[in-house]
Amino acid sequence: MNRFLTASIAAFAILAPVVANAVPASCYLDDNGTTLIEGPCQLKWLDHKGSFSINNGKFEGMAAHDNTGAMIGAFYELNDKTGQPITGTLEAMHKVGACWVNDTQTICAGKPGERVGVNHDGY
């Protein structure tokens, strides 16, 4: 039991920074046909289930699992001075390639320099 607990703590300590740190990526975020992010951004993994956020300094998009396990998506316009969200929406999404989509939103992330979108690969 003690070895299991020690191994679990060690595994969490190794994996936690991977979830918390943002990394450079290529991203795409669209809301109602308006492209909010297309190109370089920061990608941050939110959990080990595939939830993530993307941020280009002006907009932030998120695809995350809710408490039922379904994926929901959100986008936010960021305040120029504080970087905090000031507007946004939250809706259910489904996976298409490297993207999470619904009738009005698309959020995608890929490796730096890759072209990402519904018809392209990514992470």
Average pLDDT over residues 95-118: 86
Residue 47: both structure tokens together:
């959990």
What token pair was written down for 113? 């320099």
Of the candidate ranges 54-58, 73-77, 92-96, 99-103, the one whose mean pLDDT is the lowest: 73-77
CA angle in degrees (0–180, nearest 5) for 71-97-30: 70
Alpha helices in the chain (DSSP H): 2-20
pLDDT digits (tens, 9 = 90+) for 43-66: 999 888 888 999 998 888 888 888
Quickly state the pLDDT bin for 72 (edges 50, 70, 90): confident
pTM over 0.85: no
